[in-house]
Structure 1
Amino acid sequence: MGRRRLLTLVAATSLMGASAKAQPKPVRVGILSGEDEDIWRIVQENTRATGLTIEIVTFSEGNPINAALAAGDLEANAFQHGPYLQAQNTALGSHIVPVGNTYFAPIGFYSKKWKTLSTIPDGATIGVPADPTNEGRALKLLQSLGLLKISSEAGEMPTALDISENPKNLTIRELDDPVLARSLPDLDAGVVITEWAYKAGIDLKSERLARESMDNNPYINFIAVNEPDAHAAWVQPLVSAFQKPNIRAKLLEAYHGAIIPSWT
């Protein structure tokens, strides 16, 4: 092989290597399928101006998303609040941390059979989420509405076993989120997470009897990453791409005002 040809090959190889280095791997973000996909497509557009490329990875339910992040199959996710993440970190032995707020999705108390709280009958069957963090959240809402009381010894994540007073003799049914939302016609009422209520076609206004307050509420959703990545160069551009006016407007439009953007 001639010296000139050898130099040409070396130069071409060097250029290919430089080109590969200039194309960073996309940041894979795990989200729940549905309306959030439309939100994150706009986030993708927002990141292009910064040179960051993100890949949206959708899941039909929340349980596998943190496991995928902890395993390195994702760089970030955006679907959960603090108490849920705390429980998941304990269960998985993971070290996932929040890096920027997204929105607050207040859980609602819905019914297709009864129009007001006062008309819910004695012995009614009430559905609540089956996962510990959101079951506790649901029971706290029912307590705030005067429908039951939770034992003072229950801790931060009460379950139906921690109900100390049940004056209306309610039956509490623990159901997985998608099943709970779809089962509302068969229940007297249910405490349903906003995203699942929307997916199931529940009318977020006419069928809602009450919803939780945002005041001092720990259930604000956020973008999360593995702890070693918390200060990675791509994290702040990712968060900033979400926390923009066009995302705020799309959130309010997509969820008809039922979800509240949670950044300043």
Structure 2
Amino acid sequence: MRKHVISAIGSAVVLGLGPTACGSGSGSGSGGDDALVVGATAVPAGEVLSYIKQDLAEKAGLDLEIREFTDYVLPNTALQEGSLDANLYQNQPFLDDFNKSKGTDLVSVVKPYLPPMGVYSKKAGDVTELADGATVAVPNDVTNEGRALKLLAAEGVITLKDGAGTAASPADITANPKHLTFKELEPAQLPRSLDDVAAAVINNNYAQDAGLSPATDAILLESAKDNPYANLLAVRKGDEDDPRVEKLAELLTSPEVRKFIEDKYKGSVLPVTSG
């Protein structure tokens, strides 16, 4: 079943998905005054933030605490509720959908990198090799499913109706020459589905968590050109001018972080030149 991000909260809690603290200190999100408490998924956001914490933060006068999450909903609910000061893991369409469905007012500060979504398969070396009637697994939340379908449409695998936006669904498919069937799964479950489906469209962080290299293992990978899905640093509206947030935003877009991303991910995560 396709879900808005709001509907994933229950399943996330049932599965025990939640934050893991990394580092020390306490910010306004946890009752203190100095540390900036930032929520993130482990890869790449957590790794980028860990690099900043270890190599850049002290010199910049920033006390940074990182809390890692394993799902896409709890980092926003924790931010809205005040146990985080900021988070880094989502893109603008996802944030817009979350704000609309939850009635929140989280805002973007800067967009430092793009983790490209990819199509992965153990049965085909190219999307053109997918068999007639094959099953393709896609994320079941609104914005990530729309993103997956737009990726397939950009390659001509399917055609979407004119005007299908970031919330595109299988109902918007107007041409499906390979008669593909789309199986909607929780994003974190997609890498595990590869033995059971012909292909899966997987978010970057879950692909890397599963040991997949987007740059070399994906049979189709998003381009960075005109891509609206760059990850962003989000805060509660009104906190954009917090000096700690401004410091982190500056570090996220620094030459040092750009080089770290290029050297570590080798094309699997792409730095963005402007936020």
Return the offset for 1:35: 4.6
Q: Which residue number in structure 1 is paired with residue 66 of structure 2? A: 56
- Contact kept, 8 Å, 1:148 with 1:163, in 2: the verdict is yes
Q: Deviations over 1:120-160 (max 9, x none)?
A: 11001111111100100111111112111122254431111
The 1:187/1:213 distance shift into structure 2, 3 A limit, reads same
RMSD: 1.8
Gaps of 5+ in 1: 1-22
Match status 1:47 vs 2:57: yes
Q: Does 1:26 align with 2:35?
A: yes
C-alpha distance in 1, partners of 2:188/2:60? 37
Q: Which residue of 2 aligns with 1:175?
A: 185
Q: Contact 1:67–1:92 at 8 Å: present in 2 too? A: no
Q: Select the residue among 242, 247, 250 that pairs with 1:237.
A: 247
Return closer, same or farther for 1:262/1:99 CA change in 2, 3 Å cut-off: same
Residues 207 and 232 from structure 1, CA distance in 2 versus in 1: closer, same or farther, beyond 3 angstroms?
closer
Structure 2 Cα separation of the partners of residues 32 and 138 of structure 1: 20
User: What is residue 157 of structure 1 aligned with on the other side?
Assistant: 167
Q: Is the 8 A contact 1:35 1:254 kept in 2?
A: no
Summarize the alignment of residues 130-149 of structure 1 with structure 2, pairs less than 5 Å apart. 130-149=140-159
Q: State the alpha-carbon separation in 2 of the partners of residues 43 and 203 from structure 1.
A: 23
Distance in 2 (CA, whole Å) between partners of 1:94 and 1:133 is 17
1:88 aligns with 2:98: yes
Quickly say closer, same or farther: Cα 1:27–1:216, change in 2 above 3 A: same
Q: Residue 9 of structure 2 corresponds to which residue in structure 1? A: none
Tell me which moved more, 32-41 or 228-237: 32-41
Q: Which residue of 2 aligns with 1:10?
A: none
Which whole-Å CA distance do the structure 2 matches of 1:40 and 1:134 have between them? 23
Q: Cα offset for 1:106? A: 1.4
- The runs of at least 4 consecutive aligned structure 1 residues that moved more than 3 Å come to 153-156
> Which has the higher Rg, Structure 1 or Structure 2?
1
Question: Could you say which residue in structure 1 is the equivalent of 2:138?
Answer: 128
**Once the two structures are superposed, what CA deviation does each residue of 1:163-217 show, in whole Å capped at 9, x if it has no partner?**
2221211010111111012211221111111111111122434432221222221
d(CA) in 2 for partners of 1:157 and 1:120? 24
Work out whether 1:184 is the aligned partner of 2:194.
yes
Shifted more, 202-211 versus 65-74: the winner is 202-211
- Report the secondary structure of 1:229's partner residue: coil
Identity of aligned residues (%): 34
Secondary structure, aligned partner of 1:216: coil
TM-score (norm 2): 0.82
The alpha-carbon distance between structure 1 residues 54 and 238, as it changes in their structure 2 partners (threshold 3 A), is same
State the Cα distance separating 1:239 from its structure 2 match.
Answer: 0.8
Give the conservation status (yes or no) of the 8 Å contact 2:215–2:221: no
When the two structures are superposed, what TM-score results if normalisation uses the length of structure 1? 0.86
- Match of 2:128? 118
Q: What is the rounded CA distance, in whole Å, between the counterparts of 1:96 and 1:232 in structure 2?
A: 14
What residue identity is the alignment partner of 2:42?
S
Letter in 2 for 1:31: A
Q: Which runs of 5+ in 2 are unaligned?
A: 1-31
Offset from partner CA, 1:211-236 (integer Å, 9 cap, x none): 12222211111111111111122221
SS of the aligned residue for 2:79 comes to helix
